[in-house]
Every structure is written in structure tokens, then in C-alpha cells.
Structure 1
Amino acid sequence: MERRQLEYFVAIVEHGGFTHAAKALRVAQPSLSRAIAKLEHELDVELFHRVGRNAVLSSAGQLMADRARLVLRDLDAMRAAARAVGDGLVGRVDVAATSSSALEPVISIIAELRERHPGVLVSTSSALSAAEVVAMVLQGRCEAGVCGSAERPTGQGLVAHHLRDEEFLLVAPPGTRLGGDGTVAWEDLEGMRFVVTKPATAVRALFDRLAASVGEVSIAAEVGDRSVVLPMVLRGIGAGLMPDGWADLARRAGAEVYRFSPPERLPQWLVHRTGPITAATQAFLDTTLARPA
């Protein structure tokens, strides 16, 4: 079995077929097909069911997909370790993060990492929930992840470090006056309209608890892209619930920002796999864990 065969196999899985994978890899499709046929012969299993021009993963292919990603990650780790001896710390680390975690602390981590190790490139991938972050790490799609979760993320071969407790804030349209001393209680929000994210996010779970407790709150808009919540709040469509990483940006934009009393917090976690990791990934982990809570 050759590394090239695994790279071709993963590319077909990621790009949804031989044609798109061949274009992405810039190889002739017959060469790609021959490499996969050879791999199937060596493994003595059929990895894809050919249905017309489409390729559908077989049960064996589904089992092998995640394992192939992990093998490629481990090979990259060995190669990076060898290069780091002679060339200094270089490489790329793929990080999965929910949108709030990508804003803070991931942006701050990248800034610190660039100062210490300019040869390290951080590539972030967005995830809707903590469960999706964990899946991306365990499947080998990313080497590390940052997410918020009430419970410690778990999984076979997964390591989770508690980073801090992220605080949720109320962000209201300009001129909105609520509560006192910059804080609000849930009952202060009675009758308000909200811009909310779709279900399965931590922010939506908080809104659902708020709505169940207060009763007299309503949804003005439901969005799939969390980056449009603040612009909608600024246009007066409704208020929003946002992690503390958005506070400075929201204030500079002119929104009113309130803390909850008592505070609403959610633990934030750094996750990664056990086993070999690249030097670049280790640098990302070390930089993240060195930051004050």
C-alpha cells in the first residue's frame, strides 16, 4: 500500500467522486482509477460501488475512510518531525472550531503562534456544534479543535483540555435600555424579539431555555450563518445572544451589550487525538494551553 493510493482514496471521498477528485489532484482520471483498483486488489475488498458515473462508498470503504485520514495525519507527523530537526518549526495545522470559538480564542492563538513560529500555518474549519468538532478531530479531518460544551467532550482516543468558561451576553439594537449597571435578568427580556441561530448550537440552546422560562419572547429571524446575527441586531430586527468574544466588536459597531445576572457561562475545550501529532500541531496545543484562563 502506498501513500499516494490513500491520498487518492481520501480525495475521492472528500470530493464526491472520481471526476472531481481527479480535477482537484490534477491527475488523469484513468490513473486515479487504476490506483484505486490496485488498492482494492491489495486489500481484497471493494471500496466503491460504481453506479453509472457515480462512486458510492461500500461498507468497507466507509470503515476505511476515517482510518485512511488518520494514517495520512500520522505520516505527516513523522515527516514534520524530521523536517523540524533541520529546518526549524514549519508546517500546517488544521483546526476545527465553532464560530464563537473561532473568534475567541482561536484568533488570539493564531496571532500568538505567528509571533513565535512564523513558519506554522493554521487552517480553520467551521463546525456547527461541539459534537461536529469532536467528529472532525476523531475522523482525522482536523488535528485539533476548540468548542464550547457543558460536558467534557469524550471519544475513544480523544484528549480534552478545559480552557476557560465562555460567557454569553445580550446584544441589543442601538439605544436599547434595559436593567441597570450593564446587567440584565431574564425577566427584563419579556416581550423582546430575537435573532437566533438554528437548533443544535449552544446559543440556540440558551435561547430555548430563556424562552421556556420567560415565555413572552419571540423569534424575529432564524439564521444559519451566525455572522449575520450582529448586522441584524444593528438594523433593529431583534436582540441576539452572543459569546463574550463578540463584545468588543458589538460595542464598536454601536450595539448595546449587557451581561446576565447571574452570568450565563459555558465551558470551552481544546480537543485533539492521542498518538503522533505534527510539530506544528504541538506548537498550537502548547500556545493554546499556555494562555491564561
Structure 2
Amino acid sequence: MHEDRDSRHADFLRSHPQIGCFQSKNTSIRTNVRSSHKDENESPPLQIKIDWRRACPISEHQDAKSCRGDPKMNQTNVGQKLFYKDFRLLRLFMEIVKHGGFAQAQAALNLGQSTVSNQMSELEQQLGFRLCHRGRGGFRLTEEGQQVVDAARTLFDSVGSFEARMSSLRDGLVGDLAVHVVDHVSSNPASPLPDAIDLFTQKAPEARLRIYVDTPDNIELSVLNGECDIGIGSFFHHGASLRYDWLFDERQLLVCGARHPLSTRSDTELSPDAISRYPFISRSYLRQQLSDDKEPASFAAHMEAVALMILSGRYLGYLPDHLAEPWIRRGEMVVLLPEDMGYTAPFEFVRRVDGPRSTLVQTFIDCLASVRRQKTTALGVSKLDQKDPGGIAICP
């Protein structure tokens, strides 16, 4: 039996001369293979040592110990050996790039400075070149680093497509499903998400649903990069590589705090022009303005931060009606000209246009569509066929 196995391995190597020599980490097999090239100065049989569980390429006749200890060998063969640990290091590097530096990535990944630095150094040693500049001059990719980023995105896209295809071949609905949503979507009574999650977990009890909160622009980027399967939010700039489907509407109100000078004015005393003279806080991903000739006084990425600034009495800002309602009811916030200054924002779910879609992703989309249909029927809303809503008038 062993002779048959060794013979099959030898036949495989004869037909794949580019594989070269392999060094075993654990169990190994030795066999002799002669080159198919006939020459009067033909070299002696090439000895090949293979670990069929985890092969580490080395050059011909290279000793195992010298291979492990020579960093130049790591540089020479980097394109031939990518294992699980290398994937983790590449993902760490991509997180650093995504967050624009080491310090930002440390906080997002909950890792210490030495851990991030050591793992990046390990990746650079493995690749054989520097990926980025860091230090007092700030974070900046090298030319090679940018090429690695582009290649890594292609690699992870391929891995994601493979996983999706394998998942679709399995009988059961198992695996991970990543959904990214904007903040405070849970308090909107029009949102189908709670009911859709309930329905999904009934259909796929073995699946692991992971939900993350982020800003709309980051959600779109995560969907494009394959970091999440489905994104949910209000997206004002639609990307060509993404598909957007309407989910529900959210009413946005312009409000001020109870201590703000405008809080005691009646609607008849107010006008859009008078309101626009006061400091206004905009969401950073929208770049909202109350008038064309005046920039916002401040920016915030999340609505919790916007609410805090409004409650200070120093700023005006937009909040969803369901989020502002408790403060309005307690007299801590006041709505300003709701008919003139308010607007409706469509919420959509987004996913990539290209690539295979796993059964798990399709099941969640079906659950969203089913609950959406029930809610829109109950509310008398007819937008189920609307796939690309028009622009929203942020400014009057």
C-alpha cells in the first residue's frame, strides 16, 4: 500500500515539475524522481521529501534546518507558501489600512501596540519587503504595500466566493452571516430587522448571525471588501458595484435643545433663513447644510454624538423622529419647522452585485423581504418595486 502511495506521489511530481522540492514539518515521504529531460550530463536522481499535510517549499537539495533559519529563503518563496497564519497577518494588515494607521487599528481590534507591531513585522519579514511607513511622519503605504493591498482584496474576495459556493452546496444552513447596520435602527417601529432576525433564526438555527454597527459609508466599503454580507442603512451615494433595495422610510427632524434660544420661538416666528444663522451639527458622512453659504459648525459620525451636542443647547441638528421622541416628550428638545425643515430618508439593504450568493445570505434577504411586505401592507406603503430611490433634499 505504501509503495502504491509513493508511486502515485512520484507520478504527480513528474507531471508537476514546477512544484520543486518540499520539506516536511512532521510526517514525510521520500521518493526519487528523475527529470524527463534527457541529457548526457544528466544529474543524479532528485530526492524529494514531502509532508502531504503541510508542505513548505524549499529549493532543490536544500537542507531543512538551513531553510528554516535563512530569511532569504522566506523572501524567495513567499509566493508559494500562504498558510492560515499568513491569512491572519494579511487581515491584520488590511485592518490597519482600513483604519488609517496602527493606533486606530489597535482600538478597533482591541489589541496591544506590541502585538500589532510584532505581527506586522512578522508579515513584512515573511514577504521580504516593507509594507508601510510608520512613525512621526504618520502612516503611509509603500509602493509594494499598495500592491499587497490590491492583491489581498482579490485574494479575500476569492476566498469569500469559495466559502459562499461551498455553503450553497451544503444541505443545512450553517456558517457565519455578517450584517452591518447604522446606529439606533432598532428603535424605529418601521424597521423589519427584529422580526426578520427572528424568522431567520427559525429557518437557520445552526447559523451564527453577527451584527455590527457602523456609519453608512463604512458599511458600503465593508460590503465591497467582503467584510460583511449585507448592509442596512440610509445611503445617499449609490455605488455601481452594489445593489440597493428599499426597506423602510425614516423621518428626520431638525431639533434644538431646551436651552437653545430658538426653543421658545413659535413656528410663526421662525423661518428657514433665521434658523440657518445658528450653529448646526452635521453628520460627517452626509455633509448636511442648512444654507448654501454657511458651513456646519461641527460634525459627528453617530447619532448619539449628535444628540449630545443638541442637548447642550449650543447646536441645531437632525435626528430620527423615533430617537428624538423621548426628549421631545420630556421637553428637553424642540422640533423646528417640521414641514419645511424635515425630510424623509429611505433605508435600504445593500449587497454586492457580482459573485455567488450563499444560501445563508439569500435566506436572510428572503426574511427581510417577507417581513417588509407584511409591514408595508399594514402601513399601506407601496415601494416594494422601488430599487433606486431618488436623491433626498437635505437642504430646503
Q: TM-score range by the shorter chain?
A: 0.5 to 0.7
Give 1:15 shift.
Answer: 4.8
Task: Give 1 or 2 for the bigger CA radius of gyration.
Answer: 2
1:256 aligns with 2:373: no
Tell me, yes or no, if the aligned pair for 2:255 and 2:335 is still in contact at 8 Å. Answer: yes
- Counterpart in the other structure of 1:246: 323
Return the alpha-carbon distance in structure 2 between the equivalents of residues 36 and 144 of structure 1.
Answer: 35
Contact 1:3 1:72 in 2 (8 A): no
Distance in 1 (alpha carbons) for counterparts of 2:166 and 2:190? 27
Which of 136, 148, 153 is equivalent to 1:61? 148
> How many angstroms does 1:272 deviate by?
0.4
Return closer, same or farther for 1:253/1:52 CA change in 2, 3 Å cut-off.
Answer: closer
Partner of 1:269: 348
- Counterpart CA distance in 2 for 1:109 and 1:164 is 8
After superposition, the C-alpha distances for 1:254-286 in whole angstroms (9 at most, x for unaligned) are 423352337523343321013223444323322
Cα offset, 1:137, TM superposition: 1.2
Compute the displacement of 1:66 (Å).
1.5
Select which of 151, 165, 178 maps to 2:266.
Answer: 178
Local SS of the residue matching 2:214: strand
Letter of the 1:142 partner, please give it: C
The structural deviation recorded for 1:107 is: 10
Alignment of 1:82-97 (within 5 A): 82=169, 85-86=171-172, 89-97=173-181
Determine the structure 1 residue equivalent to 2:87. Answer: 6
- How far apart, in 2, do the equivalents of 1:267 and 1:186 lie? 23
User: 3-state DSSP class of the match of 2:233?
Assistant: strand
Please give the TM-score of this superposition, normalised by the length of structure 1.
0.66
Decide whether aligned partners of structure 1 residues 261 and 140 sit closer, same or farther in structure 2, where only a CA change above 3 A counts: same
Work out which structure has the larger RCO, using CA pairs closer than 8 Å and 6 or more positions apart in sequence: 1
Deviations 1:19-62 (A, max 9, x none): x89x79x9xx79x959994xx6xxxxx78548799996534312
Q: Say if 2:248 and 2:348, in contact at 8 Å, map to a contact too.
A: yes
Deviation of the 1:195 alpha carbon: 4.6
**Separation of aligned partners in 1, 2:275 and 2:132:** 56
Give me the whole-angstrom Cα distance separating, in 2, the residues matched to 1:280 and 1:271: 15
How far off its partner does 1:10 sit? 2.1
CA distance in 2, matches of 1:3, 1:50: 22
Q: Work out whether 1:212 is the aligned partner of 2:292.
A: yes
Q: In 2, Cα distance between the equivalents of 1:280 and 1:194?
A: 46
User: What do the CA deviations read for 1:71-93 (whole angstroms, capped 9, x no partner)?
Assistant: 2322332454455x24xx44433
Give the structure 2 partner of residue 196 of structure 1. Answer: 281
1:3-152 → structure 2 map (5 Å cutoff): 4=84, 5-15=86-96, 33=122, 37=126, 49=131, 58-82=145-169, 85-86=171-172, 89-99=173-183, 102=185, 108-118=191-201, 119=205, 120-127=208-215, 129-130=216-217, 132-150=218-236
How far residue 252 of structure 1 moved from its aligned partner, in angstroms, is: 5.0
Identity of aligned residues (%): 19
1:145 deviates by: 1.7
Gaps of 5+ in 2: 1-80, 377-382, 384-396
| 1:233 Cα deviation from its structure 2 partner | 2.4
Structure 1 equivalent of residue 392 of structure 2: none
Answer yes or no: is the 8 Å Cα contact 1:67–1:139 preserved in 2.
no
- Secondary structure at 2:340's aligned position in 1? strand
Distance 2:211 2:324 in 1: 24
Displacement of 1:126 in angstroms is 0.9
- Is the CA contact (8 Å cut-off) linking 1:148 and 1:267 kept in structure 2? yes
Identify the residue that residue 43 of structure 1 maps to in structure 2. Answer: none
Task: Supply the distance in 1 between the matched residues of 2:357 and 2:129 (Cα, whole angstroms).
Answer: 27
Q: Please, which of 299, 303, 308 is the counterpart of residue 231 of structure 1?
A: 308
Equivalent position SS for 1:270:
strand
SS of the residue 1:96 aligns to = strand
State whether residues 69 and 141 of structure 1, in contact with CA within 8 Å, keep that contact through their aligned partners in structure 2: no
Letter in 2 for 1:289: A
User: How far apart are the structure 1 equivalents of 2:124 and 2:159?
Assistant: 17
- Which among 158, 162, 174 is matched to residue 246 of structure 2? 162
Relative to structure 1, the CA distance from residue 144 to residue 286 in structure 2 (aligned partners, 3 Å threshold; closer, same or farther) is same
Taking a change above 3 Å as real, the CA distance of residues 249 and 137 of structure 1, as seen in their structure-2 partners, is: farther
